[in-house]
Amino acid sequence: MEFRHLGRSGLMVSEISYGNWITHGSQVEEDAAHACVRAALDEGITTFDTADVYAGTRAEEVLGRALKGVRRESLEIFTKVYWPTGPGRNDRGLSRKHIMESVNGSLRRLGTDYVDLYQAHRFDVETPLEETLRAFDDLVRQGKVLYVGVSEWSADQIARALKIADEMGFDRIVSNQPQYSMLWRVIEAEVVPLSEREGLGQIVWSPIAQGVLTGKYLPGQPPPAGSRATDEAGSGFIDRMLRDDVLRRVQELRPVAADHGLTMAQLAVAWVLQNPNVSSAIVGASRPEQIRDNVKASGVKLDGDTMRRIDEILDPVVERDPGKTVSPTSRP
């Protein structure tokens, strides 16, 4: 496993990290969840990503139990705040009240005194940005949070946050967590250039497009049994990518992967890691052998001809519109 700095910060993260959205506390049983975390640790992953909202807060508990007994200093644990965690009006968003309450819940469920990175899971249009950033800064001073970041914020929102932090002397955000894969490149036009200038790193989610880039979903065929597309909690998220035109193009990547001795999943993860602004690719896994497969993408170099070949194959189905980075227009 190779390691990278989280943006321009001093924190090192494994360039492949493990995330537990959809899986822990929901799609997979506790044993399978623990086996995936064990496999991740065995393969050298030290960075783990979760969120207060995953599986109605159960995902953090599962991760906390799975990591119990592992030396805390050898781990980087990331979580997030914004999406609803309870029925109340204040159980959501980025108000000072919810941030302070949610972080305490996350620490309790994860069984740790601090998280390495605390992320605003979306932009909250109903809270002044200064209120959010001051609350984040207070958490850093309290030692509950070591670094702060955001997720799915637009370049404009990130720039506004950096300006306020600089004016007020708040801790600066060091990372953004966007969706990024061969198929979804909406950060390349605006978010990445700004982040390079300002020292933020991307921790990218769904680098395998939730499984689509493994090539296991075939055009015109029902999804394979036991896959995310057949899962009650997961299918609603992956369905929009299961279009025949996309799946046909993905099958055309098979010879590209084979020419490099890679599996399709490894090619997908290696592709996002070619972008130097990416600090880590967060992969998910419903079984340990997937993690063992995916981590072999660490350190793989893809040459210019290979990158161009991939572009030629996928071009008609790639999403590049920076306007697709959106947060809800009111609190969920």
Ligand X SMILES: NC(=O)c1ccc[n+]([C@@H]2O[C@H](COP(=O)([O-])OP(=O)(O)OC[C@H]3O[C@@H](n4cnc5c(N)ncnc54)[C@H](OP(=O)(O)O)[C@@H]3O)[C@@H](O)[C@H]2O)c1
Looking at the annotation, which residues are catalytic?
A: 54
User: Does the footprint of ligand X cover residue 205 (CB under 6 A)?
Assistant: yes
CB of 168 to ligand X, least distance (A): 26
What is the rounded distance in angstroms from the CA atom of residue 297 to the CA atom of residue 281?
Answer: 10
Q: Closest separation between CB of residue 77 and ligand X, Å?
A: 12
Q: Which stretch binds ligand X (CB under 6 A): 84-92, 160-168, 240-248, 276-284?
A: 276-284
CB-based contact 124:152 (threshold 8 Å): no
User: Minimum distance from CB of 205 to ligand X (Å)?
Assistant: 3
CB-wise, 119 or 127, nearer to ligand X?
119
The CB-based long-range contact list for 195-199 (8 Å cut-off, 24+ gap) reads 195/7, 195/158, 195/277, 196/277, 198/158, 198/159, 198/162, 199/7, 199/8, 199/9, 199/172, 199/174
The candidate with the shortest Cα–Cα distance to 47, out of 282, 270, 293, 278, is 282
76 binds ligand X (CB under 6 A): no
Q: Does 151 bind ligand X (CB under 6 A)?
A: yes
Pairwise CA distance, residues 281 & 180, whole Å: 9
Question: Which of these ranges, 19-27, 92-100, 126-134, 250-258, lies near ligand X under the rule CB under 6 A?
Answer: 19-27
Q: Which range of residues in 14-22, 65-73, 95-103, 188-196 is near ligand X by CB under 6 A?
A: 14-22
Long-range contacts of 258-263 (CB under 8 A, 24+ apart): 259/306, 260/300, 260/302, 260/306, 262/296, 262/297, 262/300, 263/214, 263/293, 263/296
Q: Are strands 115-120 and 145-150 parallel, antiparallel or unpaired?
A: parallel
Binding mask 33-62 for ligand X (x = CB under 6 A): ----------------x-------------
What size, in residues, is the chain? 332
User: Could you give the CA distance from residue 12 to residue 41 in angstroms, rounded to a whole number?
Assistant: 16
Query: Of the candidates 43, 52, 60, 152, which one interacts with ligand X according to CB under 6 A?
Result: 152
Among 208, 247, 270, 295, binds ligand X (CB under 6 A): 208
How near is the Cβ of 270 to ligand X at its closest, in Å?
13
* Side-chain half-sphere CA neighbours of 138 within 13 A: 11
Q: Which is nearer to ligand X, 7 or 211 (CB)?
A: 211
C-beta of 107 vs 269, nearer to ligand X? 269
Judged by CB under 6 A, the number of residues near ligand X is: 30
**206 near ligand X, rule: CB under 6 A:** yes
Q: CA angle, corner 172, sides to 170 and 174, nearest 5?
A: 160
Of 214, 296, 302, 293, nearest in space to 260 by CA: 302
Of residues 60, 76, 101, 293, which one binds ligand X by CB under 6 A?
293
> What residue ranges bind ligand X (CB under 6 A)?
19-23, 49, 121, 151-152, 177, 205-211, 214, 216, 227-228, 265, 282-286, 290, 293-294
